Amino acid sequence: MNTSSSDKDLASAFLQLIATPGLPGLGPDQRSTARAASDINAEVRSWANEQQLDADTLDVLRSAALLWHDHLDASHSISQSIPTATGSFLHGIMHRREPDYGNAKYWFHRVHSHPAYADIAQAVQERLDSGELPSSLSHLVNQGNWDAFGFVDAVEEGLGSSKDPEIIQGLQCVQQVEFECLLASVLY
- Reported as a single tens digit per residue, the pLDDT across 59-74 is 999 999 999 999 999 9
Q: Structural domain tally of the chain?
A: 1
Say which residues have a Cβ less than 8 Å from residue 56's Cβ, sequence separation at least 6.
Answer: 82, 84
**Residue 45, domain extent:** 5-17+33-187
Residue 96 lies in a domain: yes
Residue 94 lies in a domain: yes
Residue 26 lies in a domain: no
End-to-end CA distance of the chain: 9
Residue 27 lies in a domain: no
Residue 125 lies in a domain: yes
For residue 140, CA distances in Å to 53, 94, 125, 137 come to 33, 19, 9, 6
Structure confidence by residue, pLDDT tens digits, 91-122? 999 999 999 999 999 999 999 989 999 999 99
Sign of CA dihedral 125, 109, 66, 34: negative
Residue 147 lies in a domain: yes
The mean pLDDT value for 119-130 works out to 97
> Is there a contact between 14 and 187 (Cβ–Cβ < 8 Å)?
yes
> Is there a contact between 155 and 171 (Cβ–Cβ < 8 Å)?
yes
